Amino acid sequence: MKINSVELNNFRNISSIELQATDGVNVIYGENAQGKTNILEAIWLFTGCKSFRGSKDPDFIKFGEEIAKIKLSFSDNTREKKSEIVYANKKKNVFLNDVPLKSSAELIGSFYGVIFSPSHLSLIKDGPSERRRFLDTALCQLKPSYAEHLAGFKRSLMQRNAILKDLHLSPQLYDVLDTWDDSFARYSAAVISERLKYIKILSEYSKEIYAGISEYKEDFSVSYSRKDISDINISYKDLYISELEKLKEARKDDVIYRTSTVGPHRDDLDISINNISARSFGSQGQQRSCALALKLGESEIIKKITGETPVALLDDVMSELDEKRQDYILNHIKDRQVFLTCCDPSQVLRLCSGKSFLIKGGKLT
Protein backbone atom coordinates (compact mmCIF):
# COMPACT_ATOMS: atom_id res chain seq x y z
CA MET A 1 0.00 0.00 0.00
CA LYS A 2 1.44 3.36 -0.94
CA ILE A 3 0.26 6.94 -0.71
CA ASN A 4 1.05 9.08 -3.74
CA SER A 5 -0.29 12.39 -2.52
CA VAL A 6 -2.30 13.99 0.27
CA GLU A 7 -4.28 17.19 -0.21
CA LEU A 8 -5.86 19.05 2.71
CA ASN A 9 -8.10 22.11 2.66
CA ASN A 10 -9.31 23.86 5.82
CA PHE A 11 -8.52 20.73 7.82
CA ARG A 12 -7.80 21.77 11.46
CA ASN A 13 -5.05 24.47 11.37
CA ILE A 14 -4.17 23.70 7.74
CA SER A 15 -5.60 26.05 5.09
CA SER A 16 -4.24 24.30 2.06
CA ILE A 17 -1.42 21.84 1.49
CA GLU A 18 -0.50 19.23 -1.08
CA LEU A 19 2.11 16.69 -0.10
CA GLN A 20 3.74 14.49 -2.76
CA ALA A 21 4.93 11.42 -0.86
CA THR A 22 7.93 9.20 -1.39
CA ASP A 23 7.71 5.39 -1.27
CA GLY A 24 10.01 5.13 1.77
CA VAL A 25 10.09 7.30 4.87
CA ASN A 26 8.28 10.65 4.84
CA VAL A 27 9.39 12.78 7.77
CA ILE A 28 7.08 15.64 8.77
CA TYR A 29 8.92 17.89 11.18
CA GLY A 30 8.47 21.22 12.88
CA GLU A 31 7.95 22.90 16.20
CA ASN A 32 5.10 22.04 18.54
CA ALA A 33 1.54 22.89 17.48
CA GLN A 34 2.32 23.43 13.77
CA GLY A 35 0.08 20.70 12.28
CA LYS A 36 2.21 17.52 12.17
CA THR A 37 -0.27 15.26 13.95
CA ASN A 38 -3.11 16.88 12.00
CA ILE A 39 -1.62 15.55 8.75
CA LEU A 40 -1.35 12.00 10.13
CA GLU A 41 -4.89 12.24 11.49
CA ALA A 42 -6.21 13.25 8.04
CA ILE A 43 -4.43 10.27 6.41
CA TRP A 44 -5.75 7.92 9.10
CA LEU A 45 -9.36 8.94 8.38
CA PHE A 46 -9.09 7.20 4.98
CA THR A 47 -8.84 3.83 6.73
CA GLY A 48 -12.55 4.31 7.46
CA CYS A 49 -11.93 4.30 11.21
CA LYS A 50 -12.67 7.10 13.64
CA SER A 51 -10.05 9.67 14.68
CA PHE A 52 -7.39 8.19 16.98
CA ARG A 53 -7.77 11.35 19.06
CA GLY A 54 -11.43 10.65 19.73
CA SER A 55 -12.43 13.82 17.83
CA LYS A 56 -15.78 14.35 16.16
CA ASP A 57 -16.27 15.34 12.50
CA PRO A 58 -16.97 19.07 13.09
CA ASP A 59 -13.65 19.35 15.00
CA PHE A 60 -11.81 18.76 11.70
CA ILE A 61 -13.12 21.95 10.09
CA LYS A 62 -10.72 24.87 10.45
CA PHE A 63 -12.05 27.42 12.94
CA GLY A 64 -14.09 30.09 11.11
CA GLU A 65 -14.55 27.95 7.97
CA GLU A 66 -17.56 25.91 6.88
CA ILE A 67 -16.11 23.08 4.85
CA ALA A 68 -13.01 20.92 5.17
CA LYS A 69 -11.82 18.70 2.30
CA ILE A 70 -9.25 15.94 2.41
CA LYS A 71 -8.04 13.93 -0.59
CA LEU A 72 -5.81 10.91 -0.82
CA SER A 73 -4.30 9.37 -3.91
CA PHE A 74 -2.91 5.89 -3.19
CA SER A 75 -2.04 2.58 -4.81
CA ASP A 76 -2.67 -0.94 -3.57
CA ASN A 77 -1.18 -4.12 -5.06
CA THR A 78 -3.41 -3.87 -8.09
CA ARG A 79 -4.13 -0.26 -9.02
CA GLU A 80 -4.20 3.42 -8.26
CA LYS A 81 -7.16 4.79 -6.31
CA LYS A 82 -8.33 8.10 -4.96
CA SER A 83 -10.59 9.00 -2.12
CA GLU A 84 -12.08 12.23 -0.86
CA ILE A 85 -13.91 13.21 2.33
CA VAL A 86 -15.77 16.50 2.62
CA TYR A 87 -16.76 17.64 6.11
CA ALA A 88 -19.48 20.28 6.27
CA ASN A 89 -21.07 21.43 9.49
CA LYS A 90 -23.49 18.59 10.07
CA LYS A 91 -22.83 16.46 7.01
CA LYS A 92 -20.04 14.41 5.58
CA ASN A 93 -19.60 13.20 2.00
CA VAL A 94 -17.26 10.32 1.27
CA PHE A 95 -16.04 9.30 -2.19
CA LEU A 96 -13.95 6.43 -3.48
CA ASN A 97 -12.81 6.84 -7.08
CA ASP A 98 -15.44 9.58 -7.42
CA VAL A 99 -18.25 7.20 -6.38
CA PRO A 100 -20.19 8.48 -3.35
CA LEU A 101 -20.27 6.11 -0.35
CA LYS A 102 -22.90 5.97 2.37
CA SER A 103 -20.42 6.40 5.22
CA SER A 104 -16.70 6.37 5.97
CA ALA A 105 -17.08 2.82 7.31
CA GLU A 106 -17.45 1.80 3.64
CA LEU A 107 -13.84 2.89 3.13
CA ILE A 108 -12.69 0.02 5.36
CA GLY A 109 -10.73 -2.40 3.22
CA SER A 110 -9.66 0.14 0.57
CA PHE A 111 -6.79 1.83 2.33
CA TYR A 112 -4.83 0.19 5.17
CA GLY A 113 -2.80 2.08 7.74
CA VAL A 114 -1.52 1.57 11.25
CA ILE A 115 -1.19 4.53 13.54
CA PHE A 116 1.04 4.89 16.56
CA SER A 117 0.54 8.09 18.52
CA PRO A 118 1.60 9.03 22.06
CA SER A 119 -2.05 8.56 23.05
CA HIS A 120 -1.54 4.83 22.40
CA LEU A 121 0.62 4.67 25.50
CA SER A 122 -2.70 4.56 27.32
CA LEU A 123 -2.91 1.03 25.90
CA ILE A 124 -0.31 0.05 28.48
CA LYS A 125 -0.76 2.70 31.16
CA ASP A 126 -4.53 3.03 31.50
CA GLY A 127 -7.43 0.77 32.40
CA PRO A 128 -8.88 -2.19 30.44
CA SER A 129 -11.23 -0.12 28.26
CA GLU A 130 -8.27 1.22 26.24
CA ARG A 131 -7.04 -2.31 25.53
CA ARG A 132 -10.52 -3.48 24.51
CA ARG A 133 -10.76 -0.45 22.22
CA PHE A 134 -7.44 -1.37 20.61
CA LEU A 135 -8.66 -4.90 19.97
CA ASP A 136 -12.05 -3.80 18.69
CA THR A 137 -10.60 -1.15 16.35
CA ALA A 138 -8.04 -3.59 14.93
CA LEU A 139 -10.65 -6.27 14.34
CA CYS A 140 -13.21 -3.86 12.85
CA GLN A 141 -10.63 -2.72 10.29
CA LEU A 142 -9.99 -6.33 9.30
CA LYS A 143 -13.42 -7.92 9.54
CA PRO A 144 -16.65 -6.05 8.86
CA SER A 145 -18.49 -9.07 10.38
CA TYR A 146 -16.75 -8.35 13.70
CA ALA A 147 -18.17 -4.80 13.65
CA GLU A 148 -21.65 -6.34 13.27
CA HIS A 149 -21.11 -8.77 16.16
CA LEU A 150 -19.78 -5.97 18.33
CA ALA A 151 -22.72 -3.70 17.50
CA GLY A 152 -25.10 -6.59 18.29
CA PHE A 153 -23.32 -7.20 21.57
CA LYS A 154 -23.51 -3.53 22.56
CA ARG A 155 -27.24 -3.51 21.78
CA SER A 156 -27.92 -6.58 23.90
CA LEU A 157 -25.76 -5.22 26.73
CA MET A 158 -27.75 -1.98 26.72
CA GLN A 159 -31.08 -3.85 26.71
CA ARG A 160 -29.98 -6.26 29.41
CA ASN A 161 -28.76 -3.42 31.63
CA ALA A 162 -32.00 -1.49 31.08
CA ILE A 163 -33.98 -4.55 32.21
CA LEU A 164 -31.73 -5.06 35.24
CA LYS A 165 -32.36 -1.45 36.26
CA ASP A 166 -36.15 -1.87 36.09
CA LEU A 167 -36.34 -5.36 37.55
CA HIS A 168 -37.08 -4.27 41.11
CA LEU A 169 -40.09 -2.27 39.84
CA SER A 170 -41.41 -4.91 37.40
CA PRO A 171 -40.52 -8.49 38.44
CA GLN A 172 -42.30 -9.84 35.32
CA LEU A 173 -39.22 -8.65 33.42
CA TYR A 174 -37.40 -11.79 34.68
CA ASP A 175 -38.86 -13.70 31.67
CA VAL A 176 -37.60 -11.06 29.23
CA LEU A 177 -34.19 -11.25 30.86
CA ASP A 178 -33.91 -14.93 29.88
CA THR A 179 -34.43 -14.01 26.21
CA TRP A 180 -31.81 -11.27 26.40
CA ASP A 181 -29.40 -13.62 28.15
CA ASP A 182 -29.49 -15.86 25.11
CA SER A 183 -28.83 -13.04 22.64
CA PHE A 184 -26.14 -11.62 24.97
CA ALA A 185 -24.41 -15.02 25.16
CA ARG A 186 -24.49 -15.48 21.37
CA TYR A 187 -22.95 -12.09 20.63
CA SER A 188 -20.47 -12.44 23.53
CA ALA A 189 -19.28 -15.77 22.16
CA ALA A 190 -18.85 -14.30 18.65
CA VAL A 191 -16.90 -11.31 19.97
CA ILE A 192 -14.70 -13.30 22.36
CA SER A 193 -13.97 -16.00 19.83
CA GLU A 194 -12.66 -13.43 17.28
CA ARG A 195 -10.66 -11.64 19.97
CA LEU A 196 -9.02 -14.91 21.07
CA LYS A 197 -8.01 -15.80 17.52
CA TYR A 198 -6.62 -12.32 16.99
CA ILE A 199 -4.60 -12.27 20.21
CA LYS A 200 -3.15 -15.68 19.45
CA ILE A 201 -1.54 -14.37 16.25
CA LEU A 202 -0.78 -10.92 17.66
CA SER A 203 1.10 -12.38 20.62
CA GLU A 204 3.48 -14.24 18.29
CA TYR A 205 4.24 -11.21 16.12
CA SER A 206 4.56 -8.71 18.97
CA LYS A 207 6.79 -11.05 20.97
CA GLU A 208 9.23 -11.23 18.08
CA ILE A 209 9.08 -7.47 17.45
CA TYR A 210 9.61 -6.63 21.13
CA ALA A 211 12.52 -9.05 21.29
CA GLY A 212 14.09 -7.16 18.37
CA ILE A 213 13.45 -3.76 19.97
CA SER A 214 15.11 -4.89 23.22
CA GLU A 215 17.94 -6.73 21.44
CA TYR A 216 16.57 -10.03 22.76
CA LYS A 217 17.19 -8.94 26.37
CA GLU A 218 13.53 -8.80 27.41
CA ASP A 219 10.62 -11.15 26.92
CA PHE A 220 7.22 -9.67 26.01
CA SER A 221 3.89 -11.41 26.25
CA VAL A 222 0.28 -10.49 25.66
CA SER A 223 -2.74 -12.66 26.39
CA TYR A 224 -6.52 -12.33 26.61
CA SER A 225 -7.54 -12.00 30.19
CA ARG A 226 -10.82 -13.68 31.06
CA LYS A 227 -11.67 -15.90 33.94
CA ASP A 228 -12.20 -19.58 33.15
CA ILE A 229 -10.86 -19.65 29.60
CA SER A 230 -8.05 -22.12 29.79
CA ASP A 231 -8.20 -23.24 26.16
CA ILE A 232 -7.66 -20.34 23.78
CA ASN A 233 -8.74 -22.57 20.88
CA ILE A 234 -12.22 -23.02 22.38
CA SER A 235 -14.97 -23.26 19.73
CA TYR A 236 -17.78 -20.73 19.26
CA LYS A 237 -20.33 -23.31 20.43
CA ASP A 238 -18.47 -24.11 23.64
CA LEU A 239 -17.99 -20.43 24.29
CA TYR A 240 -21.72 -19.80 23.84
CA ILE A 241 -22.56 -22.55 26.35
CA SER A 242 -20.00 -21.26 28.83
CA GLU A 243 -21.25 -17.66 28.43
CA LEU A 244 -24.83 -18.76 29.18
CA GLU A 245 -23.52 -20.61 32.24
CA LYS A 246 -21.63 -17.53 33.41
CA LEU A 247 -24.72 -15.35 33.05
CA LYS A 248 -26.67 -17.81 35.20
CA GLU A 249 -23.99 -17.78 37.88
CA ALA A 250 -23.78 -13.99 37.78
CA ARG A 251 -27.56 -13.41 37.81
CA LYS A 252 -27.68 -12.78 41.56
CA ASP A 253 -24.91 -10.17 41.40
CA ASP A 254 -26.35 -8.63 38.24
CA VAL A 255 -29.70 -8.14 39.99
CA ILE A 256 -28.06 -6.64 43.09
CA TYR A 257 -25.76 -4.30 41.12
CA ARG A 258 -28.40 -3.68 38.39
CA THR A 259 -25.84 -4.14 35.63
CA SER A 260 -24.18 -6.94 33.63
CA THR A 261 -21.16 -7.93 35.70
CA VAL A 262 -19.75 -10.48 33.23
CA GLY A 263 -19.15 -10.38 29.47
CA PRO A 264 -16.63 -9.18 26.89
CA HIS A 265 -17.18 -5.58 28.06
CA ARG A 266 -15.28 -6.55 31.24
CA ASP A 267 -12.39 -8.41 29.61
CA ASP A 268 -8.82 -7.20 29.39
CA LEU A 269 -5.39 -7.96 27.96
CA ASP A 270 -2.50 -9.05 30.17
CA ILE A 271 0.67 -7.40 28.92
CA SER A 272 3.93 -8.26 30.60
CA ILE A 273 7.70 -7.98 30.26
CA ASN A 274 9.71 -10.84 31.73
CA ASN A 275 6.48 -12.07 33.34
CA ILE A 276 5.94 -8.81 35.24
CA SER A 277 3.01 -6.49 34.49
CA ALA A 278 4.09 -3.79 32.04
CA ARG A 279 1.39 -1.49 33.37
CA SER A 280 2.46 -1.62 37.01
CA PHE A 281 6.21 -2.01 36.67
CA GLY A 282 7.31 -1.03 33.13
CA SER A 283 9.64 1.96 32.62
CA GLN A 284 8.61 4.76 30.19
CA GLY A 285 10.78 3.29 27.42
CA GLN A 286 9.53 -0.25 28.10
CA GLN A 287 5.89 0.86 28.04
CA ARG A 288 6.44 2.74 24.79
CA SER A 289 8.19 -0.32 23.33
CA CYS A 290 5.22 -2.52 24.34
CA ALA A 291 2.72 -0.19 22.66
CA LEU A 292 4.90 -0.14 19.54
CA ALA A 293 5.28 -3.91 19.50
CA LEU A 294 1.48 -4.27 19.63
CA LYS A 295 0.97 -1.70 16.89
CA LEU A 296 3.63 -3.15 14.58
CA GLY A 297 2.21 -6.61 15.34
CA GLU A 298 -1.20 -5.33 14.24
CA SER A 299 0.37 -4.19 10.99
CA GLU A 300 1.89 -7.66 10.39
CA ILE A 301 -1.54 -9.25 10.82
CA ILE A 302 -3.14 -6.88 8.30
CA LYS A 303 -0.34 -7.76 5.89
CA LYS A 304 -0.83 -11.48 6.43
CA ILE A 305 -4.60 -11.40 6.04
CA THR A 306 -5.04 -8.86 3.23
CA GLY A 307 -1.75 -9.19 1.36
CA GLU A 308 -1.42 -5.38 1.62
CA THR A 309 1.31 -3.78 3.74
CA PRO A 310 -0.34 -0.98 5.74
CA VAL A 311 1.20 2.49 5.63
CA ALA A 312 2.82 3.15 9.02
CA LEU A 313 1.81 6.45 10.60
CA LEU A 314 4.16 7.11 13.48
CA ASP A 315 3.44 10.22 15.51
CA ASP A 316 6.28 11.37 17.74
CA VAL A 317 7.51 7.82 18.06
CA MET A 318 11.16 8.43 18.90
CA SER A 319 10.92 10.29 22.19
CA GLU A 320 11.85 8.32 25.30
CA LEU A 321 13.57 5.59 23.27
CA ASP A 322 17.31 5.07 23.41
CA GLU A 323 19.33 5.01 20.17
CA LYS A 324 19.31 1.23 19.82
CA ARG A 325 15.53 1.05 20.11
CA GLN A 326 15.15 3.92 17.64
CA ASP A 327 17.47 2.11 15.21
CA TYR A 328 15.45 -1.07 15.44
CA ILE A 329 12.18 0.70 14.72
CA LEU A 330 13.51 2.52 11.70
CA ASN A 331 15.12 -0.61 10.31
CA HIS A 332 12.09 -2.75 10.99
CA ILE A 333 9.78 -0.47 9.06
CA LYS A 334 12.04 -0.23 6.01
CA ASP A 335 9.89 -2.52 3.87
CA ARG A 336 6.90 -0.20 3.85
CA GLN A 337 5.86 3.38 3.39
CA VAL A 338 6.14 5.42 6.57
CA PHE A 339 4.92 8.85 7.67
CA LEU A 340 6.76 9.92 10.76
CA THR A 341 6.49 13.14 12.75
CA CYS A 342 9.13 14.68 14.99
CA CYS A 343 10.36 18.06 16.15
CA ASP A 344 14.00 17.44 15.21
CA PRO A 345 14.50 15.52 11.93
CA SER A 346 18.23 14.88 12.47
CA GLN A 347 17.63 11.77 14.60
CA VAL A 348 15.55 10.22 11.85
CA LEU A 349 17.55 11.33 8.86
CA ARG A 350 20.80 10.01 10.32
CA LEU A 351 19.23 6.56 10.07
CA CYS A 352 17.31 6.43 6.86
CA SER A 353 16.87 8.13 3.57
CA GLY A 354 13.56 9.60 2.55
CA LYS A 355 11.79 12.85 2.06
CA SER A 356 11.34 15.48 4.74
CA PHE A 357 8.70 18.17 5.00
CA LEU A 358 8.93 21.18 7.31
CA ILE A 359 5.57 22.37 8.59
CA LYS A 360 5.11 25.82 10.07
CA GLY A 361 1.76 27.33 11.06
CA GLY A 362 -0.13 24.73 9.02
CA LYS A 363 1.94 25.40 5.87
CA LEU A 364 4.51 23.16 4.24
CA THR A 365 7.70 25.02 3.49
Ligand X SMILES: Nc1ncnc2c1ncn2[C@@H]1O[C@H](COP(=O)(O)OP(=O)(O)OP(=O)(O)O)[C@@H](O)[C@H]1O
Per CB under 6 A, the segment of 17-25, 54-62, 70-78, 317-325 that binds ligand X is: 54-62
Does 12 bind ligand X (CB under 6 A)? Our answer is yes
Q: Please identify, using beta-carbon distances, which residue of 28 and 94 lies nearer to ligand X.
A: 28
Of 6, 21, 26, 34, which one interacts with ligand X (CB under 6 A)?
34
Q: Please identify, using beta-carbon distances, which residue of 110 and 341 lies nearer to Mg ion.
A: 341
| Minimum separation from the CB atom of position 27 to ligand X (A) | 13
| Minimum separation from the CB atom of position 344 to ligand X (A) | 11
Of 5, 18, 20, 33, which one interacts with ligand X (CB under 6 A)?
33
Per CB under 6 A, the segment of 36-44, 91-99, 200-208, 268-276 that binds ligand X is: 36-44
Of 8, 19, 26, 37, which one interacts with ligand X (CB under 6 A)?
37
Of 59, 204, 238, 320, which one interacts with ligand X (CB under 6 A)?
59
Does 35 bind ligand X (CB under 6 A)? Our answer is yes
Does 36 bind ligand X (CB under 6 A)? Our answer is yes
Does 13 bind ligand X (CB under 6 A)? Our answer is yes
| Minimum separation from the CB atom of position 57 to ligand X (A) | 11
* Spatial contact of 29 and 365, defined as CB atoms under 8 Å apart: no
| Minimum separation from the CB atom of position 343 to Mg ion (A) | 9
Per CB under 5 A, the segment of 29-37, 167-175, 235-243, 259-267 that binds Mg ion is: 29-37
State how far the Cα of 107 lies from the Cα of 95, in Å rounded to an integer: 9
Per CB under 5 A, the segment of 32-40, 41-49, 237-245, 260-268 that binds Mg ion is: 32-40
Nearest to 46 by CA among 119, 101, 98, 113: 113
Does 227 bind ligand X (CB under 6 A)? Our answer is no
CB atoms within 10 A of CB 248: 12
Does 186 bind ligand X (CB under 6 A)? Our answer is no
Does 119 bind ligand X (CB under 6 A)? Our answer is no
* Spatial contact of 88 and 67, defined as CB atoms under 8 Å apart: yes
Any bridge partners for residue 16, and if so which? 9
Does 37 bind Mg ion (CB under 5 A)? Our answer is yes
| Minimum separation from the CB atom of position 310 to ligand X (A) | 21
| Minimum separation from the CB atom of position 343 to ligand X (A) | 6
State how far the Cα of 174 lies from the Cα of 200, in Å rounded to an integer: 38
| Minimum separation from the CB atom of position 331 to ligand X (A) | 24
Does 83 bind ligand X (CB under 6 A)? Our answer is no
Given the rule CB under 6 A, which residues bind ligand X?
A: 12-13, 30, 32-38, 59, 61-63, 316, 343
Given the rule CB under 5 A, which residues bind Mg ion?
A: 36-37
